[in-house]
Amino acid sequence: MKMTQKATVQDGTDDTAVVDPSRSGLGPVELELAGVNKVYQARRGRVEALSDVNLSIRRGEFISLVGRSGCGKTTLLRILSGLLPPSSGSVTANGQSIWRGSARNDEALQQVGLVFQEANLFPWFNISDNISLPLKLRGVDRKARAARAEELCELVGLRGFEGAYPRELSGGMRQRAAIARALSSRPSILLMDEPFGALDALTRDKMNLELQSIHAATGATVVFVTHSISEAVFLADRVVLLTPRPGRIRSVTPVSLARPRSADTEASVEFQQIVRGLRVELDEES
């Protein structure tokens, strides 16, 4: 286990003490992983995907999750989102267990919104109906759904596109709609698995700025998986680096750069030092 520049690193220990003090507005612990292990029983044998992952995430905190391909980032996000049970360990959202053994606790998961690399919008629904689909499934009436979709279109920069169909939107716009859909039922936790991974570099930079504003406006707790170290640092309050085989937390790096962040932030010495430090750590993995 390694120490990062200003960061404390933990593995198997409580990390609540290392929350970045510059974000003193952060609330109590919202998401907690304790002793989380995941073993896949694959045809080629046993794959230890995660081992003893411990992490406490505060309300409103933005966590970026990075690491080499196959280190268990998606596995961890799927466990947090109720899609995959852990082999052992506990995962709680506001004190409620997300998993009871291998059974998912749907009540705890009501606080969670999900965004994937693909927007996965329904092509035959317009943007407003796509965004408000989770509300329809919860029995919210049409008028209230349309009002919420309008509000969310405003938030994610899609105002005026409520009646458009997914095929009429660019990749970045479709991802905005996916973020809006994830936020439709006002979850306090947003889990994002490489949401901008399929976008071109310029659109991605723009989406990072948008996501920063959305995070500030909603106060959501975010766990964001990415392969891009600079994207991870730009967005995060803390960057969690996983190491592969088995996936463990190698380091937790606080990012205390002032918000809102901009292109100037990326040009700063402090930003570049943090990025370089994480790249060195990643190189040590190979």
Binding site for ligand ATP (CB under 6 A): 40, 42, 47, 49, 67, 69-75
- Closest-CA residue to 191 (of 38, 31, 11): 31
Nearest Cα to Cα of residue 189 among 9, 281, 57, 8: 57
Q: Which CB sits closer to ligand ATP, 69 or 102?
A: 69
CB of 69 to ligand ATP, least distance (A): 3
Output the smallest distance, CB 42 to ligand ATP, in A.
Answer: 4
Is residue 105 within 8 A of residue 97, CB to CB? The reply is: yes
- Compare residues 68 and 104 and give the one whose CB is closer to ligand ATP: 68
Name which of 26 and 33 has its Cβ closer to ligand ATP.
33
Q: How far is the CB of 168 from ligand ATP (least distance, A)?
A: 30
Residue 239, burial from CB neighbour count under 10 angstroms (0-12, 13-18, 19+): buried
Nearest distance, CB of residue 106 and ligand ATP, angstroms: 22
Angle formed by the axes of helices 201-218 and 142-156, nearest 10°: 120
Length of the chain: 286
Task: Give min distance, CB of 285 to ligand ATP, in A.
Answer: 12
Does residue 256 contact residue 20 with C-beta atoms inside 8 Å? yes
Question: C-beta of 41: minimal distance to ligand ATP in Å?
Answer: 8
Closer residue to ligand ATP in complex, CB, 67/187: 67
Q: 233, 72 in Cβ contact below 8 A? A: no
* 67/89 with CB nearer ligand ATP: 67
Residue 75 or 208: the one with the smaller Cβ distance to ligand ATP is 75
Nearest residue to 282 via CA among 62, 48, 71 = 71
